[in-house]
Structure 1
Amino acid sequence: MIAKAFEDFLLSHLDNYLIPAEDLAIFIDTHNADHVKLLLMSNGYSRVPVLTKDKKYVGTISISDILSYQAQNQLNDWEVDPTDIREMVNTKIETINEAADLTEIMHKLVDFPFLPVVNDDNVFQGIITRKSILKAVNSLLHDFTNYYDIVPKHDADKD
């Protein structure tokens, strides 16, 4: 459990920690591999969320996911290129519910550079990045004493 003062401070510095879906590059699960490879390479994205047409979260996709699928299925470029990416989607990145608390977010971000955020109906809301949380933690480490006094517990017991 995160100490209440720390949690309050971090949350006050996380006003914009959720990058909303409409501000992100996304792919639809029926996009073909050729289209996705072209966009990933030309825009420099390493991994992008994949949704259904009704905005339900499916997983993520990267060039390495496409190449892995191609190798596992022993396909040539001309065979993999027209294939829908739903066949290649990576589902290893855990999602987080939009109502998740800071403790859960921080535990899951240890293993992933970002977390896809979904609502109770699995509709994609956006992502929380490790970078946004680390920026808030950096503020905590540098600015916390501007707002709070830190008193060792054994000294507080003497009062």
Structure 2
Amino acid sequence: MQISDFLFPKDKVSYIISSATMQEALDKLEQSQYTAIPVIDGEGKYIGTLSEGDLFWKMKKTPGLNFQNLDTIKVHEIKRRIHNESVSINAHLDDMLHLAADQNFVPVVDDNRIFIGIIRRKDIIEYYTNNITD
């Protein structure tokens, strides 16, 4: 079993580019119905995870920021409170499982740190539920 066996590929994942606006991030989260999404830079490298809470706290702590001017704030300006660690596609399965214990999803990167997808904790649980025998 390899990390790639659990990969949910980038083309099926909701993610946001760090140069996008806060409005775009809010729309992406609403559309995907996720509470957090990966953030990548202009080169496609994984740089963190943006959560609904991050957007909420940015609004709360920014005087004058409201739903009408969210397009004035870029994603890279928003402090992210939680950092989901990524795992290399070539890492040991145990490395990914260790991260999945504390994260709803594990971002997966290639050897150049380019984001290539995620591993969802629910897929790991499903696999082990279906394949563990007494």
* TM-score under structure 1 length normalisation: 0.73
Aligned to 1:96: 87
Give 1:70-89 correspondences, 5 Å limit.
70-77=59-66, 78-88=68-78
- Compute the RMSD of aligned alpha carbons: 2.2
Aligned to 1:122: 113
* Structure 1 pair 75–95 and aligned structure 2 pair: CA distance change class (3 A): farther
Give 1:3-152 correspondences, 5 Å limit.
11=1, 16-77=5-66, 78-88=68-78, 90=80, 92-142=83-133
Aligned to 1:152: none
Cα deviation code 1:43-93 (max 9, x no counterpart):
312111111122111111122111112223344214544211011253511
* Structure 1 pair 37–115 and aligned structure 2 pair: CA distance change class (3 A): same
Counterpart Cα distance in 2 of 1:48 and 1:115 = 11
- Provide structure 1 residue ranges, at least 5 long, that are not aligned to the other structure: 1-10, 146-159
Which protein is richer in helix relative to its size? Answer: 1
Structure showing greater radius of gyration is: 1
- Contact 1:59–1:89, Cα closer than 8 Å, also in 2: no
Asked which structure has the greater RCO (Cα within 8 Å, sep 6+), the reply is 2
**CA apart distance, 1:34:** 1.1
Counterpart Cα distance in 2 of 1:99 and 1:43 = 28
* Structure 1 pair 89–122 and aligned structure 2 pair: CA distance change class (3 A): farther
* Structure 1 pair 140–42 and aligned structure 2 pair: CA distance change class (3 A): closer
Identity %: 24
| Corresponding residue SS for 1:115 | strand
